[in-house]
Amino acid sequence: MRSPVFNVTEEAARKLDREVVLDIFRRMCLGRYFDLGVCEAFKKGFIKKNVYLSLGQEAIAAAISKAVPGYMIFAQHRCHATYLSFGGDPVKLRDELLGLRSGTSGGRAGSNCIQCHENGVTMFGHHGLIGENVPLGVGAALGSGKDTVCFFGDGAAEEDYVFAAMGFAATHKLPVLFVCEDNDLSILTTTDVRRSWSITGVADKLGIKAIDIADDPWTVYNRAKEWTSMLPAFINVYTCRARWHVGVGIDGPPEWDRFEIVKKQLENLGLSLEAGQVEDEVGESMERIWNEERLQILLGK
């Protein structure tokens, strides 16, 4: 079932405005190049805390953020790309990882609990119990009536309060989009070892519109945008984690690299030049943020 083309809409990117396509790619680049900077800073000892990287999974946040701007966001622990895609400040995120008071939570929360209450963004971070952000998000949607998106992983879905919250959302017809970033891993244990049931199947039985799709950003964008009119809804997105569960190491080559697939798609669309400019611009801006001399000054070294 898992593949880079599972339930992907053929030529989905070609049917979108080029501005939308390039903006989604720009958001992917933000997640990719920020986290590559994190890797180098971690290896050089500038970052002392554990990090949870979005590398390999950037397409999901990029597409969802473009489809549902203005939603309240309840993010999982692997949320760098979510924060950046929805409009968070990369400097504040960097400072949080460095443990500085200018960080998103004053340097106290670190990588797995990123908050954002700036630039019109309302993002609540992870609290440490896997999947607990889902009932929190459902409660916030109930209390406020505001459109909400909850991100969680395929391991978190096995915590019983996730489905209890989804069932409550279905019963009360709450405006919540549930998004599972399904990398088929709970640390290092694959889904087939952990369970025999599917998240999407359970969501469907709870009365929630649900689908499994691969992390093709154009398909994810279209599906999320379409389903905003029929919330609550659930999108389970097959993706590939490129680095360790926690840390910057590499377990092995991922099943697929969506970033490289997207770059090839943009080339086929005749957007190589524009995409290259976007990638260079974002890459250079992230390189400045993670400049070694600047980090030494910030940390007083």
Is residue 283 a part of any domain in this protein? yes
Find out whether 13 and 268 touch, Cβ atoms under 8 Å: no
CB 119 within 8 A of CB 84: no
- Which residue segment(s) compose the domain that 213 sits in? 13-298
Q: Is residue 79 part of a domain?
A: yes
Domain membership flag for residue 186:
yes
Q: Rounded to whole angstroms, how far apart are CA atoms 180 and 194?
A: 16
Q: What is the pLDDT along the chain (301 residues), one digit of tens a residue?
A: 899 999 999 899 999 999 999 999 999 999 999 999 999 999 999 999 999 999 999 999 999 999 999 999 999 999 999 999 999 999 999 999 999 999 999 999 999 899 988 888 899 988 767 889 999 999 999 999 999 999 999 999 998 899 999 999 999 999 999 999 999 999 999 999 999 999 999 999 999 999 999 999 999 999 999 999 999 999 999 999 999 999 999 988 999 999 999 999 999 999 999 999 999 999 999 999 999 999 999 998 7
CATH of the domain at 239: 3.40.50.970
Is 7 domain-assigned? no
Cβ atoms of 171 and 141 within 8 Å: the answer is: no
- The contacts of residue 126 (CB under 8 Å, 6+ apart) are 75, 76, 77, 79, 112, 113, 114, 132, 133
pTM listed for this prediction: 0.96
Q: Which of 198, 241, 196, 236 has the alpha carbon at shortest distance from 214?
A: 236
Q: Is 60 part of a structural domain of the chain?
A: yes
Q: Is residue 1 part of a domain?
A: no
Q: How many domains does the chain have?
A: 1
Q: Is residue 193 part of a domain?
A: yes
Please indicate, yes or no, if residue 41 is contained in any of the structural domains: yes
